[in-house]
Amino acid sequence: MPINPSDSAIYGTLYGSDAMRAVFDDHAGLRRMLDVEAALARVEARLGLIPADAGVAITDAAARVTLDDAALAASVRTVGYPVVGLVAALAREAGDAGRWTHWGATTQDILDTALALQLRDALALLRGEIAAVARGLAELADRHRGTVMPGRTHLQHALPITFGLKCAVWLMPLLAHLRRLEELRPRVELVQFGGAAGTLASLGADGIAVMEALAGELALHAPPAPWHVARDGVAEAVGVCGLICGSLAKIATDVVLLAQTEVAEAAEPHAAGRGGSSTMPQKRNPISSEYIIAASRAVQALVPLMQGAMAGDQERATGPWQAEALALPQAFVLTHGAAVAARGLAEGLVVDVARMRRNLDATHGLIVAEAVMMGLAPQLGRAEAHHVVRRASDIALAEGIPLAVALQRDQKVTEKLDAAAIARLTDPTNYLGSAEAFIDRVLRAARTDLGAA
């Protein structure tokens, strides 16, 4: 049984995705290392540093070699890394050409470049899923641009908003995350090739040529210098995962609150048994939102571990770098799992428009007290208008009457506003400000960013 539920055959569907687990699976990582070794042999053969037939033989061997998990595990226990055992197996498979395997490289070159390839795949998966969430939210924002609901501050009615605006606000940071993920790529999708201490001395004057050719062969970027002990890129990648999860958790938190029985304005898409209780047949718990929130807290807890791992000592770290493996794969698996769950919300959220209207009317006009105050302010002054409307609001709350009725009892109000003006000011649909314009601005940005995604 796995210790981490994100790797569990039972709990894994809640704490991640199979697609992202496949990127960081043991065998996927080993295959990426073999890809690096094969690419290295090809470029060195092309540059005349090893025989041409060796490049072919090593590439062929990398494609067919069978790796012995037990032997690799034994090598890792002894050496601390799988590369020694992997290179030995590859060299054996390559026959006479095996002596040219791993030419000029060191263990960390293979591990870090393989990680860059994994991160390229992981970032592509994340971009695809976040884009899908964003498209779902854009559709919701447009569809509900006129759906008026209570806006809440401190969990209390504040002013009327539209559900479309709420969705647009959920959407906006996801568009920024799509840009972040794209901007991150040149800082993460980097070949690492520095040899034993970052000088490539074993390759003489050909080191940089090999590094650049290896980057080209693997469709990675070539850094100005080896980056093994400059871990800002991989730390940034996990930091972006933390930001993404924070934005997804905001959506999930709002959905949980909107789904409360007493609110009931929105709910997760329902399927038979989804979110059920073993004792309460009526329950439809917001399971997806709950696990988005849980994943977010876990990923954000991993960000400091990655940032702490940046303090590698000298040219090869004695512990900080080794800690990355405890955080990076888990952060990506949890983030992608949260994004998959958020996509389900964005594409299938159940919105109760009628309930939103009933809740909007629950305070009998108090939610637009500010509108009345601003309507009276030009005649009474803002401070006096605030005092007058506050007094009417207190009466409405104490007696359980509509705000409009309480206002009509106040001579200071009726001297300035007739019944029609009071009715107009206390209609929540007349006090939406720039809500629709804000939606349009976000949707314009979405069309640009999603078109590039």
Q: Is 318 exposed, middle or buried (0-12, 13-18, 19+ CB in 10 A)?
A: exposed
Q: Which residue among the candidates 274, 277, 390, 409 is catalytic per the annotation? A: 277
Residue 286 has what pLDDT? 86
Here the tokens at position 213 are 């050719």
Residue 413 has what pLDDT? 87
Asked if 228 contacts 108 with a C-beta cutoff of 8 angstroms, the reply is yes
Annotation marks residue 277 as catalytic: yes
For the chain, list the domains and their CATH numbers. 5-357 (1.20.200.10), 366-425 (1.10.40.30)
Question: pLDDT (tens digit, 0 to 9) for every residue of the chain, 453 residues total?
Answer: 678 888 888 888 889 999 999 999 999 999 999 999 999 999 999 999 999 999 999 999 999 999 889 999 999 999 999 999 999 999 999 999 999 999 999 999 999 999 999 999 999 999 999 999 999 999 999 999 999 999 999 999 999 999 999 999 999 999 999 999 999 999 999 999 999 999 999 999 999 999 999 999 999 999 999 999 999 999 999 999 999 999 999 999 999 999 999 999 999 997 765 655 556 556 578 889 999 999 999 999 999 999 999 999 998 888 889 999 999 999 999 999 999 999 999 999 999 999 999 999 999 999 999 988 998 899 888 999 899 989 999 999 999 999 999 989 988 888 888 999 989 999 999 999 999 999 999 999 999 999 866
Annotation marks residue 316 as catalytic: yes
Residue 116 has what pLDDT? 98
Distance separating alpha carbons of residues 189 and 120, to the nearest angstrom: 6
Residue 380 has what pLDDT? 84
Residue 274 has what pLDDT? 61
Asked if 114 contacts 81 with a C-beta cutoff of 8 angstroms, the reply is no
Distance separating alpha carbons of residues 312 and 298, to the nearest angstrom: 24
User: Which among 126, 127, 131, 114 has a CA at the least distance from the CA of 20?
Assistant: 126
Q: Which residue among the candidates 316, 355, 357, 391 is catalytic per the annotation? A: 316
Which CB contacts under 8 angstroms, 24+ apart, belong to 2-9? 4/330, 6/330, 6/333, 6/334, 6/337
Residue 2 has what pLDDT? 74
Region class of 433: left (phi > 0), else alpha (psi between -120 and 50), else beta: left
Residue 141 has what pLDDT? 98
Asked if 332 contacts 121 with a C-beta cutoff of 8 angstroms, the reply is no
Composition of the chain by helix, strand, coil, percent to 5:
70, 5, 25
Asked if 295 contacts 338 with a C-beta cutoff of 8 angstroms, the reply is yes
Residue 330 has what pLDDT? 96
Asked if 214 contacts 39 with a C-beta cutoff of 8 angstroms, the reply is yes
